[in-house]
Structure 1
């Protein structure tokens, strides 16, 4: 039976319109993006198959475009659509942070770093710049590295902070291995950054390390 033959209350699109996107399952949300299913399967059935073979949802969506394109039921156009949807969500989250509300919840920054950096195949070091009221000025991916590390230049972070007239900075990087435990090198570069920024009275508020689980906050560990 095709989706349009389902009872109205069970169709993903009608459920979303009636009850909001939060009422849909992962498979139903994915089906709306796919639009149609494999031959002999509806979009929801195809979405369920993709999640069973390549899921859960986060692991599926964090695959590279090249890997998504090779999955049966996705292909080039849908891989681009999925990645575009993720980027829209990330930019929407940053826009929320940039609306002028002070960043009083440290975990909100951690969640944003996780959304931007988790799942990348190489290390990326990024910085979030804030004004003197801890309102977000901007977010930048500063340095890219390899599977095992990225070279961080505190002078460049300081330069960008001064250009943006930032009063505070939050930094973060990912561990492609999935293990978010900070290394000795991570702690050392955190201290170098803190010292460099302090020379011009810019505060380093936190350094998040992103892995498979909850991002690790160095401030919460007492390392700042």
Structure 2
């Protein structure tokens, strides 16, 4: 009589077949629904691995996460050996998070059409400052804001800008364009020689990576100066 083959536990599987290890090796999108569910429940029962138990749970819901999302605690605990209240609650909580994420409206990135958009976006953060701050807007190809970064803070009349930090942020976030912005606490909107110099340095550095510098805005309490509007870029 042929001897029954012993069942492998999940820890005896090849590393690339274990859900957590597979995720680390190939990313979370490489996992099946059953493998994702297995990570949530952590363990199976004496007859099934966590993945096998998870697949059976999914089968009971017609392999539909939407159907599974309608399950209550009793629907998970009573039919499935190895699923107690704690595991059932974990499954239900994860599916509820997924539902809320789906229903949540994606934030729309602000679009920059002209200098007034930049001023309106940053004015509230800069007009009451007693010191100078230098900010950079990172834009995508559609001129929508990817991120807004404060890159330096200085004294009442100047701030030192590290061009390397500006470019590192732009490259890390794959920006297609930059808009520079800083405030003048004195409310004198005329650009200084130092303002011209840092504008030129960042523009030259950005050009090496085909990143455009679209404007440099100087913010004051009652208005602003735009390098682009004044033809100084």
TM-score by length of 1: 0.54
CA-CA distance at 1:138 after TM superposition: 0.9
CA distance in 2: counterparts of 1:214 and 1:127, whole angstroms: 19
Equivalences for residues 1-150 of structure 1 within 5 A: 99-100=108-109, 102-150=111-159
CA-CA distance at 1:211 after TM superposition: 1.5
Could you list the structure 1 runs, at least 4 aligned residues long, displaced by more than 4 angstroms after superposition: none
Tell me, yes or no, if the aligned pair for 2:137 and 2:178 is still in contact at 8 Å.
yes
CA-CA distance at 1:113 after TM superposition: 2.4
Structure 1 unmatched runs, 5+: 1-97
Tell me, yes or no, if the aligned pair for 1:168 and 1:202 is still in contact at 8 Å.
yes
CA distance in 2: counterparts of 1:205 and 1:171, whole angstroms: 8
Structure 2 unmatched runs, 5+: 1-106
State the aligned residue count. 127
CA-CA distance at 1:118 after TM superposition: 1.0
CA distance in 2: counterparts of 1:101 and 1:149, whole angstroms: 28
Q: Aligned pair in 2 of structure 1 residues 119, 167: CA closer, same or farther (>3 Å)?
A: same
TM-score by length of 2: 0.52
Partner of 2:232: 223
CA distance in 1: counterparts of 2:110 and 2:163, whole angstroms: 28
Tell me, yes or no, if the aligned pair for 1:124 and 1:174 is still in contact at 8 Å.
yes
CA-CA distance at 1:115 after TM superposition: 1.9
Q: Aligned pair in 2 of structure 1 residues 101, 115: CA closer, same or farther (>3 Å)?
A: closer
Partner of 2:220: 211
CA-CA distance at 1:102 after TM superposition: 3.6
CA distance in 2: counterparts of 1:210 and 1:135, whole angstroms: 20
Partner of 1:168: 177
Task: Say whether 1:152 aligns with 2:151.
Answer: no
Higher helix share: 1
CA distance in 2: counterparts of 1:109 and 1:117, whole angstroms: 12
Tell me, yes or no, if the aligned pair for 2:115 and 2:229 is still in contact at 8 Å.
no
107-116 vs 198-207, which moves further: 107-116
Q: Aligned pair in 2 of structure 1 residues 113, 100: CA closer, same or farther (>3 Å)?
A: closer
**The one of 180, 185, 210 aligned to 1:201:** 210
Q: CA RMSD in A?
A: 1.3
CA-CA distance at 1:150 after TM superposition: 0.2
